[in-house]
A and B are shown apart, each in its own frame.
Chain A
Amino acid sequence: MRLRAEKRIDSPAWMPAVTAALSVLLAFAAGGVFLYAQGVSPFEAYASILKSAFGSGYDLSETAVKALPLAIVSLAVMLCFTMLVWNIGAEGQALVGALAAAAMVRYFPLESKPAMLSLMALAAMLAGGVWAGAAGLLKAKWNVNEIITTLMLNYIAIRLLEYFVYGPWRDPSSLGFPMTSRFIDSARLPALWGTRIHMGIYALFFLTVVMEVLLKRTRFGYEIRVTGDNARAARYAGMDYVRKVAGVMFLSGAIAGFAGMCEVSGLQGRLQAGFSAQYGYTAIIVAWLAHLRPSLSLVIAFLMGALLVGGEALQISMGLPMASASILQGLILFFVLGGEFFQNYRVRLDFSRVGRARRSRGDI
């Protein structure tokens, strides 16, 4: 007897919704046991998470602030993942985007806000695009593993940022502390509705629509899907593989770079050492949970934002340590991602002779 996982050939239409709901329920149940073991009432804890994430206009706005960069970056990685090209380096691409935006503020300060912001956005997208595009070119031309290169480029980006904030761009009035001068007003993305949500949110909605159309309704989208499914077939059909991979990576990096610019211009107002909130990595989970669908990633990013907010809420209102909050977040993600598995695979106990025979032959 053994446990076997078989790929489902076709799954009923109700399947995704039911597995998602079941996984979330199971996640909360398992989390509840954990919270109870910590001496905390699970119901109170979940209520406090929900209240902190969605309880008031302020709470909703802060959840959105957390979700915004996640959503933009998830669009970026989604583009690559559709082609089965694994861009793990959105973090670094966002960093160089922020760096390029800060460079524009430093060397080409403009009075006009639209001009300054456009210049920063262009520079950020170019920088992020080149950062990712380089890895894409290596992958397409010489089959260099893009997972490794994009990941390694993250560390280079971090060091580059440190070099500038500790060195040539350090604010002379900061008493030696590693940060640039505060950006001029024209370089700040305006905040909206009296919250910390900045104008990047319009860009996010626009990008989501563009991506939705691009992936589903254009020849370009079709080609990258085909290339992802079967690169050889795509080449045979006359698609330029090198250009496609490098181009998609460039676009992906450009979007991530733009997200970096939004963070630095919308929230921080200056470049500081240690700039990063690990959005680049969390966004990968968002893209995956959204099944690489742009519009769905908006929702998932918002829920992920709520989960992150919940971590703080648990500390403040329930007095739980950060580690407990992280374990709870991890549990929930584990179950939700685990649910995906059951959606794609059927698991059953195999009692058959054939199974045993195949096993002894080493087929399985």
Chain B
Amino acid sequence: MKRLIVTLFLLLSLLAAGACAAPVPVAEINPGYVYIGPVGDGGWTYMQDEGRRAVDAAFPGLKSTIVESVGEGPESVPVMERLVRQNKSKLIFAGSFGYMDYVEEVAKKYPDTIFMHVSGYKRADNVGTMFGRMYQPRYLSGLVAGKMTASGNIGYVAAHPIPEVIRMINAFTLGVREVNPKATVKVIWLFSWFDPGKEKEAAKALIDSGCDVLAMHADTGAVAQAAEEAKTYVIGYNNDMSQYAPTMHLTAPVWNWEKLFSPIVKQVADGTWKSEAIWWGMKEGAVDLAPFGPAVPEDVRALVDAQKADIISGKQAVFTGPIKDQSGAVKVKQGEAMSDDDIWSMGWFVEGVIGEIPN
């Protein structure tokens, strides 16, 4: 009996030791970044690469490697494998949802490398997931849009009908209706993350249909450009897109990937990394709101700043009832807050959204 207890104890302590990886010298981490688009997309991938640069600067001796425009299919497997094999990467950031199955496949084969999958939900001993609560600044940008629209018609160019994008449209619309209960948000799907031509066409179509403020969820600055040309207000995404729309840019929910990447690199260096689901918001600085454009008046700025402070302090959650769906049915009761799981897997539109989720 005693022997059994000792054996069990030994086994357990072994397991505990196994759960935490050994520290890795910074010069040997060689983080590899797998990007869905080109670094020059001016949006999603551009911001991830800005984050990588900041991390490189913060950890002297760290040598990172990137691979751009990696398709979300089996072709991503050899890219990750080569990062491990040739580049000796001990840490890989896979920067888009569609890599999920392939991250799982490669991670199984290389247990000594840590994989961080952006926006996914499958985890393993050496696979963690990470994302930002972008719906928080999205909601704040909705307040701006609701205040700035004259016609009450707001357009939204959206990439794919998946929970991430649906969640953003909902948060944005909640913001809009908070300050402008009659306004509506019209959605056009692109079925693509990166297609500047299509993004611009969709923006033009929304402007032609009477929208006087545009918001967008795609990887490039094409919508902002179209809005500037048509002198229509626009809310960017990913990064401060005022360079594409100097006079019409109102604000943008933006990423600060450094705040997500950097702690991971630190954990790997210290040997304290463990597999978890990271979902950080404005409080941690992972996401933020870009500076206001010249057109945003003082009272709107004050309103948004006040709510921003409440979100950061935790006094206010974006998805708090009453929330109704498109048919007017109550989905979240007065005073109730949605759970993270429900927010994560959102598959329905809130009241005020004009558009359909294909199913």
Interface footprint category on B? 35 or more
Which residues on the A side are within 8 Å of B68 (C-beta)?
315, 321-322
- A146 located at the interface, meaning its Cβ lies under 8 Å from any Cβ of chain B in the complex: no
B98 touches A176 (CB 8 A): no
Tell whether A178 pairs with B160 under 8 Å between CB atoms, given A269-B101, A274-B98, A322-B38.
Answer: yes
Which residues on the A side are within 8 Å of B75 (C-beta)?
66, 277
Which residues on the A side are within 8 Å of B344 (C-beta)?
175
A268 touches B73 (CB 8 A): yes
- B347 located at the interface, meaning its Cβ lies under 8 Å from any Cβ of chain A in the complex: yes
- B321 located at the interface, meaning its Cβ lies under 8 Å from any Cβ of chain A in the complex: no
Rounded to whole angstroms, the CA-CA distance of A167 and B79 in the bound complex is 30
Closest to B192 in A: A274
B72 touches A175 (CB 8 A): no
- Of the listed stretches B161-169, B278-286, B294-302, B312-320, name the one at the interface; the rest are far from the partner chain: B161-169
Tell whether A316 pairs with B82 under 8 Å between CB atoms, given A177-B162, A178-B162.
Answer: yes
Which one of B73, B101, B161 contacts A274 once the chains associate, using CB atoms below 8 Å?
B73
Residues of chain A from 247 to 296 with CB closer than 8 A to chain B in the complex? 263, 267-270, 272-277
- Of the listed stretches B83-91, B171-179, B211-219, name the one at the interface; the rest are far from the partner chain: B83-91
Tell whether A263 pairs with B160 under 8 Å between CB atoms, given A166-B358, A270-B101, A312-B79.
Answer: no
- A83 located at the interface, meaning its Cβ lies under 8 Å from any Cβ of chain B in the complex: no
Rounded to whole angstroms, the CA-CA distance of A52 and B78 in the bound complex is 10
Tell whether A175 pairs with B78 under 8 Å between CB atoms, given A167-B359, A274-B71, A316-B87.
Answer: no
Tell whether A315 pairs with B67 under 8 Å between CB atoms, given A166-B358, A175-B344.
Answer: yes
Q: How many A-B residue pairs have CB under 8 A?
A: 90
Q: A-facing mask of B145-187, CB < 8 A → 1, else 0?
A: 0000000000000001111001000000000000000000000
Which residues on the A side are within 8 Å of B78 (C-beta)?
62, 65, 309, 312
- B59 located at the interface, meaning its Cβ lies under 8 Å from any Cβ of chain A in the complex: no
Question: Would you give the shortest CB distance from A212 to chain B, in whole angstroms?
Answer: 29
Closest to B167 in A: A176
- B345 located at the interface, meaning its Cβ lies under 8 Å from any Cβ of chain A in the complex: yes
Which residues on the A side are within 8 Å of B246 (C-beta)?
none
B87 touches A177 (CB 8 A): no
Which residues on the A side are within 8 Å of B9 (C-beta)?
none
A312 touches B73 (CB 8 A): no
A167 touches B358 (CB 8 A): yes
Residues of chain A from 178 to 222 with CB closer than 8 A to chain B in the complex? 178, 196
Rounded to whole angstroms, the CA-CA distance of A66 and B68 in the bound complex is 18
- B69 located at the interface, meaning its Cβ lies under 8 Å from any Cβ of chain A in the complex: yes
- B65 located at the interface, meaning its Cβ lies under 8 Å from any Cβ of chain A in the complex: yes
B74 touches A267 (CB 8 A): yes
Rounded to whole angstroms, the CA-CA distance of A170 and B79 in the bound complex is 27
A312 touches B67 (CB 8 A): yes
- B77 located at the interface, meaning its Cβ lies under 8 Å from any Cβ of chain A in the complex: yes
Rounded to whole angstroms, the CA-CA distance of A263 and B69 in the bound complex is 20
Which residues on the B side are within 8 Å of A163 (C-beta)?
358
Closest to A182 in B: B101
- A341 located at the interface, meaning its Cβ lies under 8 Å from any Cβ of chain B in the complex: no
Q: B-facing mask of A307-338, CB < 8 A → 1, else 0?
A: 00100110111010111000000000000000
Rounded to whole angstroms, the CA-CA distance of A270 and B78 in the bound complex is 18
Which residues on the B side are within 8 Å of A313 (C-beta)?
82, 86
Closest to A323 in B: B38
Question: Would you give the shortest CB distance from B220 to chain A, in whole angstroms?
Answer: 15
A272 touches B86 (CB 8 A): no
Closest to B35 in A: A322
Rounded to whole angstroms, the CA-CA distance of A263 and B77 in the bound complex is 14
Q: B-facing mask of A116-136, CB < 8 A → 1, else 0?
A: 000000000000000000000
Rounded to whole angstroms, the CA-CA distance of A113 and B88 in the bound complex is 38
- B191 located at the interface, meaning its Cβ lies under 8 Å from any Cβ of chain A in the complex: yes
Which residues on the A side are within 8 Å of B87 (C-beta)?
316-317
Question: Would you give the shortest CB distance from B45 to chain A, in whole angstroms?
Answer: 11
Question: Would you give the shortest CB distance from A73 to chain B, in whole angstroms?
Answer: 15
Tell whether A176 pairs with B73 under 8 Å between CB atoms, given A58-B85, A312-B79.
Answer: no
Q: B-facing mask of A152-168, CB < 8 A → 1, else 0?
A: 00000000001100110
Rounded to whole angstroms, the CA-CA distance of A274 and B74 in the bound complex is 11
Rounded to whole angstroms, the CA-CA distance of A167 and B161 in the bound complex is 11
Which B residues fall within an 8 A CB radius of A?
32, 38-39, 65-69, 71-75, 77-79, 81-83, 85-87, 97-98, 101, 121, 160-163, 166, 191, 344-347, 358-359
Which A residues fall within an 8 A CB radius of B?
52, 58, 62, 65-66, 162-163, 166-167, 170, 175-178, 196, 263, 267-270, 272-277, 309, 312-313, 315-317, 319, 321-323
Given contacts A177-B97, A272-B73, A317-B87, 12 further A-B contacts (CB under 8 A): A66-B75, A175-B121, A176-B166, A178-B160, A267-B74, A274-B72, A274-B98, A312-B67, A313-B86, A315-B68, A316-B83, A321-B38
The 5 lowest CB-CB distance pairs between A and B, nearest first, are A267-B74, A322-B68, A175-B345, A176-B163, A176-B347
**20 CB-based A-B contacts, threshold 8 Å:** A52-B82, A52-B86, A162-B191, A163-B358, A167-B358, A176-B163, A268-B73, A268-B101, A272-B73, A272-B98, A276-B73, A277-B74, A316-B82, A316-B83, A316-B87, A317-B87, A321-B68, A322-B38, A322-B67, A322-B68
